[in-house]
A and B are shown apart, each in its own frame.
Chain A
Amino acid sequence: MITAEGLVKRYGAKTAVNDISFSVRPGIVTGFLGPNGAGKSTTMRMIVGLDRPTSGSVTVNGRPYAEHSAPLREVGALLDAKAVHTGRSAYNHLLAMGATHGIGKARVREVIAMTGLESVASKRVGGFSLGMGQRLGIAAALLGDPATLILDEPVNGLDPEGVLWVRNLVKQLASEGRTVFLSSHLMSEMAVTADHLIVLGRGRIIADKPMATILAEASGASVLLRSPQAAHLAQLLAGPDITITSSEREALHVTGLTAVQIGETAARAGVVLHELTPGNASLEQAYMELTQDDVEYHATTAQPAAPLTEGVRR
């Protein structure tokens, strides 16, 4: 359980984290989302005491991280895959980190095996690929067999097999009753991994809700239907706040109505349905809607920049 209360971090005049309070519960995977510069990494660093809050506090299982007698057994953190001396081997890096807590060679070998680093464990970290560095960071986080895991962009640089492995690992860790706090920019990955989401924008919490709620509340949720009488059905379904689009003949995308409502309307009118598929809004859509006003660094595309941004805002 991670609990933040009134957490503030300022760097000079810039406020990176602006008075946020949240809790991350054990037993589920909590995703941490937000645009670049929203304050995610700063928040995670404050949890493990690397950055000092300007005000407010954050505790892990009731205590500030630094006050635990065995911090590595309490929290395993992957904050920065490159937090390793490049001249040291992966094995010695883990051995040195574990030694502080009396964690020995047996456990070091265990996490090396878990993260698939056996073949490179004795090589110097300086020569590691991004993905290997990421695996080493995850190995270090697992070293103390901690009750809480904080993973900042864990799948960054991993191959598809590695991404799948992290997804399963994270879910397994949560199912064992651990607290898992995970950030990622890969929406598709987050969508299949996290149970609960905390969304940050410009240092503030925009949303702190279960994944299902966030998806359900997103306006982009649409239902796909196919019917030989599509045109007729479209007239029946039309109404305020309901949009109906058609990408091909006999197929309709309906937003603003549930599959149940559509099915019942069709049944009442005796319209034949060949397909009725409720499609959740993608997490990406939901995320874009939530954060559209809180993006710190807008990219501008060279040519049709203005109309595009307009379109998104509308």
Chain B
Amino acid sequence: MSATTHTTPASSLSAAGILNSEWIKLRSVRSPAWSFAIAILVTVGFAALLSIPLGDETVMDTSDAAAALGNYATIGVQFSQIVVAVLGVLVITGEYSTGMIRSTLSAVPGRFGALAGKGVVLFLTTFVVSVVASIFAFGVSSAMFVSRDVSASILDEKVALPILGGALYLALLSLFALGIGTILRSGAGGIATVLGVLLLLPVLIAFIPFEWAGEVAPFLFGNAGIAFWHPESSDWEWWQNLLVTIGWVVASLGIGAALLRRRDA
């Protein structure tokens, strides 16, 4: 039966195959599509909202047109980061809660490859979706500002760099969330942890009345992750902030990978 009729040449487990598999998985459940749609809506929506003229005033200083439009294009990142954090956690915890993880790890028994495949697909998809969302946002803002003589090229570095930086931040955040989800294996716990690190920790640190708190603050994911593409907000070089952000991602994915390898599925 199967042995005789099955004539396709035998292929093996491969990195390309794992990537393809994770890409199929990301597209074939509803939550990622919803998450990305919401991220795009929020990014474009906030840009449009803030571009509405308030008499002669605008929400942001538009004396430097390129800088202003760059800001408008990425203002939504503050909101879409929550969606990305949730998605990053659910991509792996959804497999734990449904039992899918056992199918995944049967197909990729080396385990590390399965997590790496998920990470690559999630990172690239989040990055591309964020860039697209920001380009839409830039277009909407530009259209609304055109009558007020505020315009800039999207290739202007004051526009293009924030767009790429914001997308890189969200993509790194999705990986950080994936790592936390892998460590905790629980959707609720993972989401609470990631949002806590992202939103709560910077606030808590700000309230601590000791000097060290001020020194720790720039190292927080939420602070460094924004600062590397908003250099004016930090005393550090952009690459220092980027390195700190990547450090969080490496730590979360590293611990996640080690636990994934060791634990029974």
Contacts and interface: CB of A to CB of B under 8 A. Distances in A.
Contacts of B2: 110-111, 114, 142, 145
B30 A87 contact: yes
Given A83-B99, A88-B28, A70 B21 contact: no
Contacts of A100: 13-14, 17-18, 20-21, 107-108
Interface in A130-173: 140, 142, 145, 172
8 contacts: A49-B105, A51-B264, A79-B106, A85-B25, A85-B95, A93-B28, A102-B12, A114-B1
Contacts of A114: 1-2
Nearest to A73: B10
Interface in A169-192: 172, 176, 178
Contacts, number: 125
Interface residues of B, number: 39
Contacts of B18: 100
B100 A84 contact: yes
User: Shortest 7 CB-CB distances between A and B: which pairs?
Assistant: A102-B11, A66-B109, A92-B28, A99-B21, A70-B12, A83-B102, A85-B100
A295 B53 CA distance: 78
A279 B224 CA distance: 79
Contacts of A80: 99, 102
Nearest to A96: B24
A229 interface: no
Contact of A50 (B29, B98, B102): B102
A106 interface: yes
Interface in B79-125: 94-95, 98-103, 105-110
A71 B107 contact: yes
Interface size class of A (residues with CB under 8 A): 35 or more
Nearest to B24: A96
Interface of A: 45, 48-52, 65-66, 69-73, 77, 79-80, 82-89, 92-93, 95-97, 99-104, 106-107, 110-111, 114, 140, 142, 145, 172, 176, 178
Contacts of A140: 103
A111 B5 CA distance: 11
B214 to A, nearest CB: 45
Contacts of B10: 70, 73
A52 B17 contact: no
Given A50-B106, A71-B107, 16 more contacts: A50-B105, A51-B264, A52-B262, A65-B109, A66-B110, A70-B11, A70-B12, A84-B100, A84-B103, A93-B103, A95-B24, A100-B14, A101-B12, A101-B13, A110-B5, A114-B2
Contacts of A79: 102, 106
Nearest to B102: A83
Contacts of A107: 6, 8
A55 to B, nearest CB: 15
Q: Which one of B1, B30, B100 has the highest number of Cβ atoms from chain A below 10 Å of its Cβ?
A: B100
A49 B28 CA distance: 27
